[in-house]
Structure 1
């Protein structure tokens, strides 16, 4: 259960598959009048939901009569709705997929062809009565990777409805990636419909690799970028103060700040690519089957590796040439400006080849355009 965009359909399918249970999608039982209201942006009233909840009760009882377990994907926003479902199946339990408003809006807005408009997200949160504290309820942070959410729910079911203390400790003590709050999980496996950094900006793809090497890489690049940015601030600020306060200036300030900026840009590109934070355009690619997406991704990474290799070669050639030429103002060899270009392009080429391998080794994440949204 949960508001639209919390991931009910995709998560419930995965839980049903993991447990070998029947899956019931509540969206399929809405009367046409309800669907028409939601298409028009009109929130459903309690009266509108009565027939729908009754149909769900019948469907759950049919599964019970067939002696099969079932997983229902249903918003069940109010306690009164949940009680109707509990009356039909007394031992019913609820896993509440909890997300924040911004994430819900982002996911609903990314869904193509669904009858749930973004305008109804407000009504979903206004209607929601948290089930926390009710019997047989598990509250799950749905902004985590899908595998983590599914694992937490299935463990809860298998432990008879109460997740074991040690299981909770294992989940809370998972290794953290410096780029992503739960990067150890996200970098080592497919990471559900989206990759978020501390519930903030959504990443365009999962981190290319993780672990101690990734953390060391991040620490080095983060500190280097911080030092470069601090250097730029000090140089520019001191130059401005000297110019306007003392009528003098620092001859090499502008050139040194430009040099630091070049380093900052290229170090940042390598760091961002490892973390999955680069810009991506995948609207068309996401509408094709998985095999096609893998082929397109493979071609893309081959092109990135080839272009990065050429840029690295060009940077290296410029370095060889630049050692013999000095800066006319400060006097440093111009090759220094090309060191980050060559180094970062080598890093990008290696990362692209690693990602090329990952395309065929990992289960690909669900595209953002198919992020789960349910209307109920």
Structure 2
């Protein structure tokens, strides 16, 4: 049974929406990986420049520390984070038990359509190709759950709950989706 779920995928795949809904249904803590970016890195992306591995290192370290706190305090949590490369996922998981990766899987055209209509996000649509260029979908040995993003966010959350054998907190109100 996972204590921490990392919801991953390219920008526009629905990570924040799905992870937030999932956390709400389970009554778990939720944090968006975007909150761990430095102002300089947000500005860099806003200007249309992709982050490199050196830029991402402190970001990954901060999220790994958050995961560690969840595990140490036995407070379950959900993190929305792109985690595009295997090395990034390894930096987050660090071989620790109780962490499960959920990969929101979708094709470029669908995601590009979503990104094109999204407002208020620092990540411009022009960086989507750079995201797909470095994406390394999880391999079977990573034990990730791949979930297609073709349905509604509620349907995706229901799939995740079912596949991971998780049951919503009965004290948390449920939407009638």
Length-normalised TM-score, structure 1: 0.41
Cα deviation for residue 134 of structure 1 reads 2.9
Are positions 1:47 and 2:58 aligned together? no
CA gap 1:74/1:61 in 2 versus in 1, 3 angstroms: same
Residues 18, 154 of structure 1: 8 Å contact kept: no
Shift of 1:89: 3.7
SS of match in other structure, 2:88: helix
Indicate conservation of the 8 Å contact 1:57/1:88, yes or no. Answer: no
Task: Summarize the alignment of residues 203-214 of structure 1 with structure 2, pairs less than 5 Å apart.
Answer: none
Match of 2:35 among 28, 33, 43: 28
Could you give the per-residue CA deviations for residues 279-334 of structure 1, whole angstroms, max 9, x where no partner exists?
xxxxxxxxxxxxxxxxxxxxxxxxxxxxxxxxxxxxxxxxxxxxxxxxxxxxxxxx
1:208-229 alpha-carbon deviations (Å, 9 max, x no partner):
xxxxxxxxxxxxxxxxxxxxxx
Structure whose CA Rg is larger = 1
Check if 1:149 corresponds to 2:142.
no
**Aligned: 1:129 with 2:136:** yes
Other-structure match for 2:124: 117
In 2, distance between residues paired with 1:88 and 1:32? 30
Match of 1:85 in 2: 92
Specify the SS of the correspondent of 1:134: helix
Alignment of 1:138 onto 2:145: yes
The yes-or-no answer on 1:101 pairing with 2:139 is: no
Matched, 1:64 2:66: no
Secondary structure of 1:93's counterpart equals strand
Q: Relative to 1, partners in 2 of residues 1:77 and 1:52: Cα closer, same or farther, differing over 3 Å?
A: same
2:19 maps to 12
1:93/1:136 contact within 8 Å kept: yes
2:172 corresponds to: none
Question: Helix, strand or coil for the counterpart of 1:34?
Answer: helix
CA distance in 2, matches of 1:118, 1:52: 21
Between Structure 1 and Structure 2, how many residues are aligned? 162
Counterparts of 2:54 and 2:97, CA distance in 1: 23
**CA deviation string 1:184-207 (max 9, x = no partner):** xxxxxx9xxxxxxxxxxxxxxxxx
Asked if the contact 1:2–1:8 (Cα under 8 Å) also holds between the matched residues in 2, the reply is: yes
Distance apart, 1:121 and its partner CA: 0.2
Secondary structure, aligned partner of 2:104 = strand
- Tell me which stretches of 4 or more aligned residues in structure 1 moved more than 6 Å: none
Partners in 2 of 1:134 and 1:76 — Cα distance?
A: 16
Root-mean-square deviation over aligned CA pairs: 1.7
- Counterparts of 1:134 and 1:4 in 2: how far apart (Å)? 24
Unaligned runs of 5+ residues in structure 1 are: 160-189, 191-361, 364-376
**Structure 2 length-normalised TM:** 0.86
Classify the secondary structure of the residue corresponding to 2:145.
strand
Does structure 2 retain, via aligned residues, the 8 Å contact 1:5–1:105? yes
